[in-house]
């Protein structure tokens, strides 16, 4: 028996193309049903299907050493049929950055209007080059960045109407968040234009001292 014809390839669910090389894609469909319970607790009947929701996530590598920030799509924008609600960029000391984009779509009254989106004030450190990005800019304090996670997201609000199907959606409360991990203990805890949420120091007798800082910034709607 010969091999089955099963694709070995990650799909580009957001159709970014260009320098964005898909590494992994996940598509899941959630089906909602109403239910009626008998007096004895058993099911009486199971309703017709309604409110079908498709969630998608694609992870990319960026095949260029510059231009990553400018190439990212806007959060809140409908791209290839899915509304983008979150973009994350993970950088580490020994690899190229990994970009994870999350979105969704509804079978009824799908999102199609991309007027409601948020600007992306991408830190200049997000270039696409190999290595950990010190987005906080604190490495001068006798520490070395080993990894960072940058996230831009919106709180997306959906509403269902009379028959339970999706009726309308809206994006609210855009936010950028960054966590940077260091070898050594950072001594400066302020980042211009950002609110510091968390500062952690870890001492160990079996490894170098480490520290991390998490900060965030609210976004203005386009």
46-79 tens-digit pLDDT: 777 778 899 999 999 999 999 998 899 889 889 9
Lowest mean pLDDT among 40-44, 100-104, 119-123, 190-194: 119-123
Over residues 28-40, mean pLDDT: 85
Q: What is the pLDDT of residue 115?
A: 65
The H or E element spanning position 38 is: none
CB under 8 Å to 147, separation ≥6 — which residues? Answer: 90, 91, 92, 93, 132, 180, 181
* Percent composition of the chain: helix, strand, coil (DSSP 3-state, to 5): 0, 50, 45
User: What is the percent of the chain with per-residue pLDDT over 70, rounded to a whole number?
Assistant: 96
Write the DSSP symbol of residue 2: P
Q: What is the pLDDT of residue 81?
A: 93
Q: Please give the Cα distance from 67 to 217 (Å, whole number).
A: 22
Over residues 130-138, mean pLDDT: 88
Q: Please give the Cα distance from 157 to 208 (Å, whole number).
A: 44
Q: Please give the Cα distance from 75 to 63 (Å, whole number).
A: 21
Over residues 190-196, mean pLDDT: 85
Q: What is the pLDDT of residue 193?
A: 84
97-116 tens-digit pLDDT: 999 999 999 988 999 876 66
């Amino acid at each position: 028996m010969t091999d089955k014809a099963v694709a070995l390839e990650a799909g580009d669910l957001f159709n970014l193309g260009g320098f964005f090389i898909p590494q992994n894609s996940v598509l899941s469909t959630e089906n909602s049903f109403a239910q009626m319970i008998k007096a004895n607790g058993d099911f009486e009947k199971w309703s017709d299907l309604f409110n079908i929701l498709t969630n998608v996530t694609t992870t990319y590598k960026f095949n260029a050493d510059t231009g990553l920030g400018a190439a990212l799509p806007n959060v809140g924008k409908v791209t290839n049929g899915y509304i983008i609600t979150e973009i994350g960029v993970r950088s580490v000391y020994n690899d190229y950055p990994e970009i994870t984009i999350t979105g969704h779509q509804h079978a009824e009254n799908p999102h199609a209007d991309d007027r409601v989106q948020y600007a992306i004030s991408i830190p200049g450190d997000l270039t696409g080059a190999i290595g950990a990005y010190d987005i906080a800019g604190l490495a001068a304090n006798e520490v070395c960045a080993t990894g960072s996670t940058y996230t831009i997201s919106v709180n997306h609000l959906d509403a269902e109407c009379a028959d339970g199907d999706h009726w309308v959606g809206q994006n609210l409360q855009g936010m950028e968040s960054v966590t940077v991990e260091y070898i050594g203990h950072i001594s400066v805890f302020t980042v211009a234009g950002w609110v510091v949420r968390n500062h952690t120091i870890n001492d160990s007798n079996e490894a170098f001292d480490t520290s991390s800082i998490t900060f965030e910034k609210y976004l203005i709607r386009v």
